[in-house]
Amino acid sequence: MGRTSMCRMKIKKHKLFLFFSVGLCVVSFLYCYKTLHQEFLLRDLSHHKSSLKSLVILSGFLWGDPLSNNSFLFNTNNRKDVEKAMRQKNYDEKKQPVADFVMPDPTGPHGELHKRTFSLQDDHTPHFIHTEMGALCFRDGTDMASSKGKPSYTKDNEDQKLKHKKNSTVVEHTLKPGRNVSECVCRQGWHGPNCGVPTVIQHSNLHTKSHLKLRKVPRRIINAININHEFDLLHVRFHELADAVDLFLVCESNFTAYGDSKPLTFLQLLLNGTFDYIKHKILYIFLDHFPKGGRANGWIVDDYLRTFLTKNGLSRIQGLRPDDVFVLNDADEIPVKEGILFLKLYDGWTEPFGIHMRKSLYGFYWRQMGTLDVISGCTMAMLVSVYKGDGILLRRREYFSMPGFRQYEKTSGHVLIPWSIGSPVHYGGWHCSWCFKPEGIYYKLVSAQNGDFPRWGDFVEKRKLSYIRELIRTGGWFDGSTPHYPPTNPSEHMFAPKYLLDNYEKYDYLLENPYAKG
Ligand SMILES: *[C@@H]1O[C@H](CO)[C@@H](O)[C@H](O)[C@H]1NC(C)=O
Ligand SMILES: *[C@@H]1O[C@H](CO)[C@@H](O)[C@H](O)[C@H]1NC(C)=O
Ligand SMILES: *[C@@H]1O[C@H](CO)[C@@H](O)[C@H](O)[C@H]1NC(C)=O
Ligand SMILES: *[C@@H]1O[C@H](CO)[C@@H](O)[C@H](O)[C@H]1NC(C)=O
Ligand SMILES: CC(=O)N[C@H]1CO[C@H](CO)[C@@H](O)[C@@H]1O
């Protein structure tokens, strides 16, 4: 009996051991598989021969005449064909299409804003504070209240508090006993030894998070958009990003995406003083023609707008450096300031990067499930070496198969696995679709490009303001559906950009359903 039970115990032990070994094997296999899978994805898909020239040579492409060889000679009606043709156009260096760009009349009535150049300067904003004990702390992310000798405020002492706040740039920073006095104490939502890593980076899928390093000289950030009539969201963008972005490239056309004539409203507002608070950071880009074939196939216009924006814009910037950052957004995509500032101040992140954006319709009150994750930016070096200085290629996801990618990845010193600012549960920005008053939605309907079918602007009954108001009230869509929206509350985190909340009454139609009680 003794022997059998011992035998059984031995067998049990063996079984247990076997069980754990198998478990371990499965886990390590899964881990290896995941890593290998990512590697294969990146490496084996890049079967094109690398064609990178040194940045110095490539930079000639930027400062030379990048517009001279762009044209859209396609009149196919199929999006896939267009994309294929685009790819060939951009990848096949031997067959460059013929020149087709005409810049506006230099003696035109626009004060030649569209011909000016912009000289990028270094940003000397003091984003960091040296504490008395020698630590370097990110100002927005550091908890000054944890400083020793913090003055205690009484309720009727608000004046003194304000005064002290103004002086806080030189506040000494010593800490609670027991802690390393040369560390920064981070505010909630900030991380890293310098408190400069925001939650949207800390909780992102960036795989080089442990290698982040503060830069001595900040990068310059260039934010490029095409504008139609999204002027509320334009103010939002400028206020949200003014501290993080060095230059806004804003492109306006006197054609709608459908091909009709339209007034240069943004130019008018720029000239009448509406944007004086940010004018020094704006480079105005004027698209004065409609791409060939754009009426028959709207996707051509869609692509062309971004190509023109990038190529014209970049050709007019002086002093660009390879480590400057290019961020391309649609007018209704607003990145959160903290994420962009991080890109500016840190080294060690990889590219290209996307942004997880909170999705909403008609206003911030109709929140949609999940996030919109759009590839939005990269360094100038990558934009030139891999994307050939063409913004539309940046929006596509197949960068790893572009010529120049492998060589670029090698010189970058990182494995360039894509990542995104934010996460599915930490918004890195806002995407507010059709966020206009009913008149604005009407205008968007009739100016929409001809290709994203069904084109609701073609239906008389869908253009009626009463119909549009009803859609806004119910959160419905033009196809008759009414999706389910989770409840929202203006006080929840990342409900809407700060500028709107700070000007609640002026923009209440974007923050609360204006027809809910009608
Ligand atoms: C703020 O600084 C000014 C001058 O630098 C000084 O006169 C003033 O007393 C300071 N205020 C506080 C609350 O420390
Ligand atoms: C405090 O931090 C500094 C810099 O991070 C480090 O050099 C020093 O050794 C630390 N001191 C203690 C007591 O942990
Ligand atoms: C757009 O502007 C250009 C240059 O001023 C002009 O030649 C063209 O006719 C304009 N197009 C429309 C539709 O207004
Ligand atoms: C500029 O023009 C717009 C639209 O016509 C108008 O609403 C705005 O008040 C003007 N701004 C200034 C500063 O004149
Ligand atoms: C700058 C550049 O590449 N220019 C080329 C544009 O295309 C024409 C004709 O295809 C060439 O002759 C130019 O050299």
Highest mean pLDDT among 142-146, 173-177, 247-251, 401-405: 247-251
pLDDT above 70 as % of the chain: 71
Instruction: Report the pLDDT value the prediction gives residue 54, as an integer from 0 to 100.
Output: 34
Give pLDDT tens digits for 274-331. Answer: 999 999 999 999 999 999 999 999 999 999 999 999 999 999 999 999 999 999 999 9
Of all ligands present, the nearest one to the C-alpha of 157 is: 1
Q: Is the pLDDT of residue 100 over 50?
A: no
Q: Which residue has the higher pLDDT, 204 or 7?
A: 204
Outline where DSSP puts E strands in 254-409. 282-287, 317-318, 325-328, 333-335, 346-347, 353-361, 367-379
Q: What distance in angstroms lies between residue 290's CA and the mean position of ligand 3's atoms?
A: 9
User: Average pLDDT of 228-238?
Assistant: 97
Instruction: Report the pLDDT value the prediction gives residue 134, as an integer from 0 to 100.
Output: 79
- CA neighbor of 218 nearest in space, from 120, 130, 140: 120
Instruction: Report the pLDDT value the prediction gives residue 206, as an integer from 0 to 100.
Output: 96
Q: Is the pLDDT of residue 489 over 50?
A: yes
**Which region among 31-35, 181-185, 276-280 has the lowest average model confidence (pLDDT)?**
31-35
User: Average pLDDT of 244-267?
Assistant: 95
**Which region among 118-122, 148-152, 194-198, 224-228 has the lowest average model confidence (pLDDT)?**
148-152
Q: Which residue do the tokens 């010189």 mark?
A: 411
What's the CA dihedral at 41, 44, 48, 50 to 10 degrees?
Answer: 90
* Residue 134 DSSP one-character state: S
In the chain, DSSP finds a helix count (H) and a strand count (E) of: 17, 17
Give pLDDT tens digits for 131-141. Answer: 877 789 999 99
Give the CA distances from residue 121 to residues 238, 315, 326, 346, in Å, rounded to whole numbers and listed in that order.
19, 16, 15, 18
Q: Is the pLDDT of residue 29 over 70?
A: no
User: Average pLDDT of 349-363?
Assistant: 97
Is residue 272 lining ligand 4, measured as CB closer than 6 Å?
Answer: yes
Instruction: Report the pLDDT value the prediction gives residue 183, as an integer from 0 to 100.
Output: 80
Is residue 180 lining ligand 2, measured as CB closer than 6 Å?
Answer: yes
Instruction: Report the pLDDT value the prediction gives residue 108, as an integer from 0 to 100.
Output: 56
Instruction: Report the pLDDT value the prediction gives residue 130, as an integer from 0 to 100.
Output: 85
Instruction: Report the pLDDT value the prediction gives residue 39, as an integer from 0 to 100.
Output: 44
Instruction: Report the pLDDT value the prediction gives residue 317, as an integer from 0 to 100.
Output: 95
**For the chain, what's the residue count?**
518
Amino acid making up residue 311: K
Instruction: For the chain, give every domain's residue range.
Output: 37-123+218-518, 128-206
Q: Which residue has the higher pLDDT, 364 or 131?
A: 364
Whole-model pTM: value is 0.73
User: Average pLDDT of 486-496?
Assistant: 95
Q: Is the pLDDT of residue 162 over 90?
A: no
- Alpha carbon distance 188, 67 (integer Å): 47
Per residue, what are the HEC states of 426-474?
Answer: ECCEEEEECCCCHHHHHHHHHHCCCCCCCCHHHCHHHHCHHHHHHHHHH
Pocket test for ligand 2, best of 179, 182, 183 (most atoms within 8 A of CB): 182
Q: What distance in angstroms lies between residue 166's CA and the mean position of ligand 1's atoms?
A: 8
- Alpha carbon distance 240, 238 (integer Å): 6
Averaged pLDDT score across all residues of the chain: 80
Q: Which residue do the tokens 């110095």 mark?
A: 56
Q: What distance in angstroms lies between residue 288's CA and the mean position of ligand 3's atoms?
A: 5
Asked if omega into 352 is within 30° of 0 (cis), the reply is yes
User: Average pLDDT of 211-236?
Assistant: 96
Q: Is the pLDDT of residue 221 over 60?
A: yes
43 CB-contact burial (10 Å; exposed 0-12 / middle 13-18 / buried 19+): middle
Is residue 136 lining ligand 2, measured as CB closer than 6 Å?
Answer: no
- Alpha carbon distance 134, 174 (integer Å): 10
Give pLDDT tens digits for 492-511. Answer: 999 999 999 999 999 999 99
Is residue 110 lining ligand 3, measured as CB closer than 6 Å?
Answer: no
